[in-house]
Structure 1
């Protein structure tokens, strides 16, 4: 949808990076609300996931995803962009901003991981969940972690939304979770950093990360209606929260 003449000055590249087990499809209910405000919205699917599941191999890891989103910025975006990362996508956008801080105007973490240098993403899960994911990966041949049941995000089994997610989620590359990300700290120079946590229910597993950002004057924070999958269940409310950060009133 082309922007109206009165909103043309708002045109800005927004790159949405999905979480684990998802694909670019996860943003399809949100994108129209952002695009109608005049922004160029990108929703790439990460290698080995979604409609790119067939690309999975033993070499595909965290760096693969950082590399391809960095390349997307350089080849398809203009000027400094807004990077939005959902869940695992927060790790990816951090890696991209760490490499290309001058190309990133704003980082928005959406109920998302903030990676720690040298610490595999798998370690952010409770030990019993780690064991279950490793066992699930072994049952699938050792390279892929099967998706969780959507009920962990508050979807009632048997409902249409639960069934839709079950049908569309794909296994997540195990190496992505076990790789130790290398983060120099350059990403902290990005001028605008925001953390939006799902208000729930259920309670977000990122509540401690959120609390840390609340106490950090370099960040702004907020709650968004809905559970972890708010871009799917509450796209209009999420769009309003994102647009308030990306296009604040003059």
Structure 2
């Protein structure tokens, strides 16, 4: 028999699992929803002092011990621990202490907790993190639960019925601050326990996105390619037990059976997708490197030339090697631009996490000024070309376009904060900034096979652009994926690159 032990997230008690538990039980499973100390009442409840992460780990351990039995033991019970959101921290802590009794851990739309790191580090929203720290400094013992309209700051409320959101709000309890601030302590005993990740696409994360981060070499994610690790997607927001209990129950049963998608380990015999050859056969031109900036100059110059600055996406792990300016896509575009008679420029910026947009923007602005200051560059004729996760950086340039910016282009960009990013500074919202773009020509290259979560941000931006009459030329690659320049070397993709470059150069030289 499969025994599911369900651990809820911040502010929530075992009641959130009622519908899922009923469906799992009807399928023949045994279900225990853990009542975490201070969060297990039927409504807002008083929370005593001294409640921390270890308290909640003990709560989960107690349920494991009550169920009893070793994995594959005489009772034949297979314990599957399911941690949602914050709940994965006490779930993983308990698995570390009872690894021999746990058959599988399911990470339900949660992060990957690390030894010595508190749960607060997994909260994406900077404002919420600061709120927790202020409450702790003030000597408060708990964090008040969100108001009805503030749940979205803790995760997407997509597909959550009004009645469910009302019930979630009514049953919410204050979260003990110690549960968010106390570092998780792991011995590594649970590292051998199989795991499954259930990603809620409506909250901004999908399997393709995780695979891309694995391909970039992010060290903390390499263990996810272990064949004992599987993944599932649910097309809903952060609370699938309320927005889709039937689909979640089916997914949990499949996870318990070891089903699911397995990530592909990095193949050392061939380059990952982002390091494959550029789709165009362009001349390999020499470059000049100064600090974090590379310049590719036209073979022959007759005075200052216009320039295109290519801005890589991200977040990119700080230790990634090679760095983005050496990736074939950026090198290929820069060489292509130089071969067409303009200066191509690439740079490395410090977008290593979604909290880094401010410093990445400063890096880009500094590099652009250095390009314009070069005597071989016509400082009054510059274009900027952004890729992927650098999309939010376009807002700075659209919000108040300088007169020398002749065109702004973006390939498969993320044009609005993804739901699991938390509140991104209003400065980095392109859909708002485009209303101030005026006559600035915009070129947006759209991948037809883009992930749903990123495609939604592009559509949000284009809708805003249509409303304000912005000058946007959309270049479609119907059969192209994110990063099509190295992933899809087709005639369709090549035609899109030629068209986009031709448009940018036309605006530069007009």
Task: Compute the TM-score of the two structures, normalised by the length of structure 2.
Answer: 0.43
Match of 1:228 in 2: 238
Match of 1:124 in 2: 122
Instruction: Tell me the distance in 2 between the aligned counterparts of 1:174 and 1:131.
Output: 12
Instruction: Tell me the distance in 2 between the aligned counterparts of 1:158 and 1:238.
Output: 16
Match of 2:110 among 109, 112, 119: 112
Match of 1:193 in 2: 195
Change in 2 beyond 3 A, CA 1:121/1:176: same
- CA shift, 1:58, in A, is 2.3
Match of 1:46 in 2: 36
Which has the larger displacement, 109-118 or 21-30? Answer: 109-118
Match of 1:69 in 2: 60
What does 1:13-92 align with in structure 2 at a 5 Å threshold?
Answer: 13-51=3-41, 54=45, 56-80=47-71, 81-92=79-90
- CA shift, 1:122, in A, is 1.1
Match of 2:179 among 164, 171, 176: 176
| SS of the residue 1:114 aligns to | coil
- CA shift, 1:109, in A, is 0.7
* Residues 50-89 of structure 1: per-residue CA shift (max 9 Å, x gap): 4086462221110011112112111234443110110111
Q: Highest CA radius of gyration, 1 or 2?
A: 2
- Whether contact under 8 Å (1:151, 1:157) holds in the other structure is no
Change in 2 beyond 3 A, CA 1:136/1:156: farther
- CA shift, 1:165, in A, is 1.7
Match of 2:217 in 1: none
Instruction: Tell me the distance in 2 between the aligned counterparts of 1:44 and 1:31.
Output: 12
- Whether contact under 8 Å (1:122, 1:177) holds in the other structure is yes
Match of 1:102 in 2: 100
- CA shift, 1:230, in A, is 0.5
Instruction: Tell me the distance in 2 between the aligned counterparts of 1:233 and 1:156.
Output: 6
Instruction: Tell me the distance in 2 between the aligned counterparts of 1:49 and 1:213.
Output: 34
Match of 2:165 in 1: 162
**Aligned alpha-carbon RMSD (Å):** 2.9
| SS of the residue 2:131 aligns to | helix
Task: Compute the TM-score of the two structures, normalised by the length of structure 1.
Answer: 0.83
| SS of the residue 2:130 aligns to | helix
Instruction: Tell me the distance in 1 between the aligned counterparts of 2:91 and 2:57.
Output: 7
Match of 2:2 in 1: 12
User: Runs of 5+ in structure 1 lacking a partner?
Assistant: 1-10
- CA shift, 1:40, in A, is 0.7
* Residues 125-153 of structure 1: per-residue CA shift (max 9 Å, x gap): 243221123446678x7011122322443
- CA shift, 1:232, in A, is 0.6
- Whether contact under 8 Å (1:49, 1:172) holds in the other structure is yes
- Whether contact under 8 Å (2:200, 2:206) holds in the other structure is no
User: Runs of 5+ in structure 2 lacking a partner?
Assistant: 72-78, 214-220, 260-510
Instruction: Tell me the distance in 2 between the aligned counterparts of 1:89 and 1:103.
Output: 18
Instruction: Tell me the distance in 2 between the aligned counterparts of 1:156 and 1:236.
Output: 14
* Residues 157-200 of structure 1: per-residue CA shift (max 9 Å, x gap): 9933332221111110001111011111111111x211111111
Instruction: Tell me the distance in 2 between the aligned counterparts of 1:142 and 1:187.
Output: 33
- CA shift, 1:29, in A, is 1.0
